[in-house]
Amino acid sequence: MPLLAGAKTWCQGHAMPAEAIRFDIQSLGEAFRRGKLTPTALVTEVDRRIAAAGADAVWIDRLSADELYARAAELEALSPIRLPLYGIPFALKDNIDVAGRTTTAGCPAYAYRAAEDAPVVRALLDAGAILVGKTNLDQFATGLVGTRSPYGIPGNSFDPRYIPGGSSSGSAVAVAKGLVSFALGTDTAGSGRVPAAFNNIVGLKPSRGLLSTRGVVPACRSLDCVSIFALTADDAAQVLDVTAVFDVRDVFARPTPPAFEVFPVRTPARFRFGLPRVAQREFFGDRSAEEAFDAAVERLQGLGGTAVEIDFEPFLEVARLLYDGPWVEERRAAVGDFITGHPADIDPVVRRIIADAPAKTAVEVYRAYYRLKAFRRTIGRLWRTIDLLVTPTAATIYSIRQIQDDPVGLNENLGYYTNFMNLLDLAAVAVPTGFLARGLPFGVTLCAPAFTEARLLAVGDSLHRASGVPLGASDQVLPAKASTSDPDSTRSGERVEIAVVGAHLSGMPLNHQLTDLGGILARQTRTAACYRLHALPDSQPPKPGLIRSDDGQPIELEVWQLSYEAFGRFVSKVSAPLAIGTIELEDGTEVQGFLCEAYAVKGAPDISAFGGWRAFVGSPST
């Protein structure tokens, strides 16, 4: 009998067939707000779906009927308008703590009862989400396959003979099968992306330190990220918005830059995406995967992207560092003592990777660190020529039998396009883009430097929609974007960028001229080192003048986005001696922005030494 058998499935007067429920966050949220669904009805439907899935090895720990009913009743006393994730069901990888519940990390002998919620869990609960249970994983989050667990192997959502991907196997399958709307996993070397690709869902690997990892059983603490599995990029953004809270108690947490944005804006009309040279692309003999990647590249070009082939070898060198370098030793620092003391309780492959790996000397650790720093410098220059990098999420997919025959070698193949991400401090989103000839999902990963989640989610969302694939393992298509009557409608429509350096900066007297026109702050950056800034005399409100100069320096600025119509209205108000011209940024790109006619700065104080207008007006001498 289902866990919640006998409970009402729908609100009185709004009966609907259970199969009509779409579990993306946007659809459920609308149903709650319109009174078509209650949390009690929702958890009843969740249970029906879980019961129908049978013994699928997805769950390690599920909440009881009483607990789910109590949570539903608690929410029904509140307004769905005030809680961003009101009534949304979710799951957690069982290496993340929930107060009063057991955390196993995929190893029963290791299990402990958590004293408090991990901060990411507490944030989700405070936002109104409903925790359904904790999911299966490769033991100690070690693997990309999903087969290294004493709790069984969650079958791939499309063919149970194939692997689900790991290590966040249960979380990905739970979302793909529509058992929950989203799930949290972790990602050290690809565990939050490979399972997404193998189950036709979105996998967001946020920037390191953006989501707190306190209350998470560590794999490599310096690299670990809490990841998000969702049906759509918009859903992933909503979860990110709730969980991206700086945790002062997490020593690896990082505050976001001032211009950081979560929600994706419209994909730019033109963008440059890098991809490995043809000779450097690896599919391990899977011609179908190669064709699927080529099709995804063509779709990106159709969305306005320009493909730029890049030398992928530095990325591959960094990927080799992950397991040839000292980071396996970091896994040993996390759970090595337990594994050594409980060898019979450990999956043999996991024990082989962590406990049996040769130890590194301090000298080897430093040498690996120096090599990584050099690669970061080399690869850092690449981002001047591209906006993002596109690769297959995984080169191919294997059957469970194949993995059992070669558990380490084939796992390494799956990390070809994933292992370098966290070492290079990149953000990444894996999105579904099609299917292989044998009916299994295929997807690509978009990545860029840390804190570029909004850009990646925007392009990923457009690519996902253009690919025409269903939501997870269902036959439902992507829901329509929010209507233009929504408060966030200013995010839709093609936009043009404009750089501001003075009174139009955030918090400055003329900034309202941008916000009144629906302007969106895209980023804070600096000019190239060929400009000087002057304080214009007798201007009201006070304004600076930016001019190009052979002996210049970088000047701080903000880049704002306006619709084409709003841009025209804004520019029409610009008066001499200021003008709109082309400004070169420090990354080598160009953008339209405020410049000043040369005659106006003669005799005007040169304030370039302050580095920007904000620093100048805030100085004691001003």
Please say if the pLDDT value at position 34 is more than 50. yes
b (16+ CB within 10 A) / e for 160-193: eebbbbbbbbbbbbbbbbbbbbbbbbbbbbbbbb
pTM of the complete model beyond 0.85: no
Q: In this prediction, what percent of the chain has a pLDDT beyond 70?
A: 93
The verdict on whether 191 is a catalytic residue reads yes
Q: Which of 168, 181, 191, 608 is catalytic?
A: 191
Lookup result for tokens 């955030």: 506
DSSP 201-229: SEEEEPPTTTS--TTB--SSTTT-EEEEE
Average pLDDT over residues 109-125: 98
Lowest mean pLDDT among 26-35, 130-139, 324-333: 324-333
Please say if the pLDDT value at position 481 is more than 70. no
Please say if the pLDDT value at position 11 is more than 80. no
Lookup result for tokens 């009185």: 12
Architecture of domain 493-617: Roll (3.10)
| Integer Cα distance of 600 and 569 in angstroms | 24
The verdict on whether 481 is a catalytic residue reads no
Please say if the pLDDT value at position 127 is more than 80. yes
| Integer Cα distance of 472 and 483 in angstroms | 24
Read off the DSSP letter of residue 162: B
* pLDDT of the residue at 622: 53
CA distances from 319 to 188, 224, 354, 361 (A): 12, 15, 18, 20
Contact call for residues 457 and 204 (beta carbons, < 8 A): yes
Q: Which of 93, 177, 205, 543 is catalytic?
A: 93
Domain residue limits, the chain: 18-467, 493-617
b (16+ CB within 10 A) / e for 43-59: bbbbbbbbeebeebbbb
DSSP 494-550: -EEEEEE-STTSTTSTTTHHHHTTT-EEEEEEEB-S-EEEEE-TT-SS--EEEEE-T
Each residue's pLDDT tens digit, 363-396 = 999 999 999 999 999 999 999 999 999 999 999 9
| Integer Cα distance of 597 and 523 in angstroms | 26
CA distances from 500 to 384, 513, 521, 571, 579 (A): 21, 12, 11, 12, 11
Q: Which of 27, 149, 167, 227 is catalytic?
A: 167
Same fold, 18-467 and 493-617: no
Please say if the pLDDT value at position 5 is more than 60. no
The verdict on whether 602 is a catalytic residue reads no
Residue 559 CB neighbours (<10 A): 21
Among the CATH numbers 3.90.1300.10, 3.10.20.90, 3.40.50.11260, 3.40.50.300, which is that of 18-467? 3.90.1300.10
Strands (E), 404-494: 426-435, 441-449
Q: Closest Cα to residue 330, out of 343, 321, 318?
A: 321
Each residue's pLDDT tens digit, 330-365 = 898 899 999 999 999 999 999 999 987 778 899 999
Residue type, 573: K
Report residue 618 as tokens: 């805030």
